[in-house]
Amino acid sequence: MNTSSRDDDLCQDYKDGMEINELARAYGLSERRVSQILRSNGIDRRPRRSGGKKALSSMHVRLGLHLYHYRHKNQIDLCVAADEIGWSSIALRKVENGTKEVELLDLIDIAAFTNTPVEKLLTN
């Protein structure tokens, strides 16, 4: 199997719901390499699943995905982002997963970090 075909299959498996760690095992690659392949094919990564806890609402999901995608497009590490926002890494991960209640001050922090107006965060 050539690498182009493998990469196409890997990307399709990811789109079909497989997680990065599952893909790494299935294709005999490191998780970092799987992430590189997805990024080079223009596929946005999904936040890691939280331990079975469901998102609070669709707005929480949208807000979390906005924050997650901003962080990954700008290649900002979770811990660095948490420090810049002034949150713990755990709080940031929970917001990205949509499982943490978000208050007005949290929205202001997210808006400042992502250079996005609060109004756009709420309506996007």
DSSP labels, 63-93: HHHHHHHHHHHTT--HHHHHHHHT--HHHHH
The reported pLDDT for the residue numbered 98 is: 87
Look at residue 124 and tell me whether its pLDDT is greater than 80.
Answer: no
Range among 9-13, 74-78, 112-116 rated most confident: 112-116
Q: Looking at residues 79-105, what average pLDDT do you find?
A: 91
Look at residue 115 and tell me whether its pLDDT is greater than 90.
Answer: yes
* Per-residue buried b or exposed e for 41-67, using 16+ beta carbons within 10 Å of the residue's own CB: eeeeebbeeeeeeebbeeebbbbbbbb
- Crossing angle (nearest 10°) for helices 104-114 and 58-73: 30
The secondary structure of residue 16, as a DSSP letter, is: T
Whole-number average pLDDT of the chain: 86
28-68 tens-digit pLDDT: 988 889 888 998 998 887 766 555 677 788 888 889 889 99
Give the pTM: 0.60
The reported pLDDT for the residue numbered 21 is: 80
Q: Looking at residues 73-87, what average pLDDT do you find?
A: 91
The reported pLDDT for the residue numbered 70 is: 94
Distance, first Cα to last Cα, the chain: 42
- Crossing angle (nearest 10°) for helices 89-97 and 58-73: 120
